[in-house]
Structure 1
């Protein structure tokens, strides 16, 4: 289909991919499946005619071996790897072109009239969630499905915008959840801050409850004083 394309993803969902990439060993990769929904609309342009705008919302990202969520629409794939440079590999190109056995089965839960997506996320091989700021590159590629052909084609216009909602709030938690993608139990020893997350959360909750109780007690005391003052004023008026 002709027109503009936009991909939307929440910061919380995107953070799972970032955590996975940062926890990878150098020169390794993981693939995931994208699920969500499509919304077709019109885009305002400088011309007299409006162009078609296809907005693609990514709501779920799961490993390839995990069954898709009920009622989910298959959108494409994620290629997350810890290596340079930031460009499609041969395997990525095959996924995007639909030249993979897994595509056919998953495509049944998707919409064949729309393009297949591939979210490419790469990090530098020397990136580590424990040594400060890490550089992360990400891009969304789409296949093109001409109406007169059953095959998808790649062109130089197959990169489309990705909009991440609440990006800053989600990024603040990357260092804490970066070990979630580790499959080696020994890797967890390098992230001692992650082992006491439940204890910290429980303490924060108890502190919030205590603060709420104190505020409630002060409010009750204030209401009682107002009631006493109202009674005293009413008594003086009756005396006069």
Structure 2
């Protein structure tokens, strides 16, 4: 067994989209993967897909914005798979609206999952990383961090994750822990399909219009982000920390 194969990763929001693609990629890289999502039944689909290809995975249900559920989830992962030393904070939701229509609950819900969730997961997992003198944290931001109409809550949360990442890199670097951030551009996913639906635009039309704006002339796929995560969590990326990489098909968001 290689060193990477002995590692245990946690991927939040792993039931679908970027999270599912990331969990499957890390399993293919030889890691044992805990797939965390709000409902264990939803995470089980990804875990079963990993097991079907010979990988090791565990489905865990947890609300990442709830401290007690996070602590219980991480403890279960440590007991059943081993101490987690890789964390991908991918869980996210949208509650889009223009600022004058946005409710307090819309704001709180998005902050709770993206920012509080990433904080709670990191706080729970970093103990295992410090003990192992090795750790990899990858936080999922977005090009929306640069500002996006109708997403005051989401844009703020995604920008906050970039500052959070840089601070983690400073605080945890001496323990062999790196922290990096990926800011995806337009990714064809359930989340962007929901956006098209909210705007009352047919998905194919919306997809084609967005792809035209991207220099590589295509929408991103969840696997594009998973590939970047794979690099950041690997042994070869030990001197890369505190970075924000925009994976967006070009130099502009």
Which structure is richer in relative contact order (CA contacts within 8 A, separation 6 or more)? 1
Largest Rg, 1 or 2: 1
Same fold (TM over 0.5): no
Give the TM-score, by structure 1 length.
Answer: 0.30
Higher strand share: 1
Give the TM-score, by structure 2 length.
Answer: 0.29
